[in-house]
Amino acid sequence: MSLNYHYMQLPREVIVGNGTLERIPEVVNRLGLKGKALVLSDSQCYEIAGKKVSEQLEKSGLTPNFLLVKSMMVDDLIAVENALKEQKPRVLFGVGGGTIIDAAKLSSASQNLPFISIPTTVSHDGIASPLASIKGSEKPYSVLAQAPMAIIADIEIIAQAPWRFVVSGCGDVISKYTAVKDWRLAHLEKGEYYGGYSASLALMSAKLVTQNAELIAKKDIEGLRVLLEALISCGVAMSIGGSSRPCSGSEHLFSHALDLINAKHAMHGEQCGVGSILTAFLHGSNWQQIKATLQRIGSPITAKELGVNDEDIVKALQMAAEIRPERYTILHKLKLNYDACETVARATGIIS
């Protein structure tokens, strides 16, 4: 008899606010962490946050060591794993943007170590999710690694990052409207597991960012907080769902396809936002609202604004389903040819 179970791995501590790095010693204490710690960062994030993290770790009684990474290619990941094997830390901290957090998540998971996420940007939902992606790997999409044991997000530090990161984060959250539609479709037509709670949590994040679009566009610190909490909730939605399903549907496949065909692509969330306009149209849902919200925030809503030519948009939409044949979405259902994809891109005003 097989036991049917559902595994959820959730962060144990989440701290969001101003000056939260000073809370590191109490988090370390509550989690009972002792001994050596490795901190993964890049040179820029080290200046912005890494130094402070180092001071706080010493106050915590941990012995921190730093490792600076440049990118998240397969070779970089191997270097991080080798450092973990050599130094044998008890915990790994990721201090940086999406790339650093992903590197920390994957390498800590492969070495059975806990990892703590200290994001310096809000460009996508990876800051709190159990999934990560590796550039240059066979799979352009993210794979299951592990959830952070704790997330310590300092809004004062995040506010220093370029505005475009915020725009990308908003696009990633707003794209959950179509991700959830695709998940529901896969449940109804293919009998795939669908977690109502997980889906609702992702949708709620998209709604909150939509409702607070004006506040976010004004670059208000409260707007940034809404976005940050929405991104963390999306990460938790994936933990509860046990996969990226609540947060990644056909619009994400479109973004991955653009990454593959267009070397100089835009940011992840910007591409997902445009993808969401296209696939909301295909679902027969309110694509105009998605487009209007993205526009309000200042996120790209045309091929030109994305910096991509019209033909690449059409090609990406056509090839998106092939990237993950097993992940059923509206694109797998409709199997659109090139002309049909072009019609959709024109009808939504993405290309003219």
**Residue numbers 108-137 binding Zn ion by CB under 5 A:** 124
Helix axes 176-190, 250-261, angle to 10 degrees: 110
Shortest spacing between CB 79 and Zn ion, in angstroms:
26
- Whose structure tokens read 């097993």? 326
Q: Which of 57, 24, 18, 21 is nearest to 39 (CA)?
A: 57
Q: Which of 131, 118, 139 is nearest to 179 (CA)?
A: 131
Nearer to Zn ion (CB atom), residue 132 or residue 351: 132
| Span interacting with Zn ion, options 94-102, 114-122, 170-178, 291-299, rule CB under 5 A | 170-178
Rounded Cα–Cα distance for residues 147 and 42 (Å): 21
Nearer to Zn ion (CB atom), residue 172 or residue 182: 172
Of 172, 251, 259, 342, which one interacts with Zn ion (CB under 5 A)? 172
Shortest spacing between CB 206 and Zn ion, in angstroms:
12
Nearer to Zn ion (CB atom), residue 247 or residue 344: 247
Binding-site size, Zn ion (CB under 5 A): 2
Q: Give the residue nearest to Zn ion (CB).
A: 172
Name residue 67's beta-bridge partners.
Answer: 40
Nearer to Zn ion (CB atom), residue 20 or residue 168: 168
Cβ burial 63-91 (10 Å sphere, 16+ → b, else e): ebebbebeebbeebbeebbebbeeeebeb
Structure tokens at 57: 């770790």
Strand spans (E) along the chain: 13-17, 36-41, 63-68, 91-96, 115-119, 131-132, 143-144, 150-154
| Span interacting with Zn ion, options 54-62, 169-177, 278-286, 332-340, rule CB under 5 A | 169-177
Shortest spacing between CB 255 and Zn ion, in angstroms:
7
Name residue 132's beta-bridge partners.
Answer: 143
Shortest spacing between CB 144 and Zn ion, in angstroms:
15
Q: Determine contact, residues 218/109, Cβ cutoff 8 Å.
A: no
Nearer to Zn ion (CB atom), residue 42 or residue 172: 172
Nearer to Zn ion (CB atom), residue 38 or residue 199: 199
Structure tokens at 311: 């033909």
Structure tokens at 226: 């809404």
Shortest spacing between CB 49 and Zn ion, in angstroms:
23
Q: Which of 145, 203, 146 is nearest to 11 (CA)?
A: 146
Q: Is 270 in the site for Zn ion (CB under 5 A)?
A: no
Shortest spacing between CB 237 and Zn ion, in angstroms:
12
Shortest spacing between CB 240 and Zn ion, in angstroms:
17
Contact residues: Zn ion, CB under 5 A: 124, 172
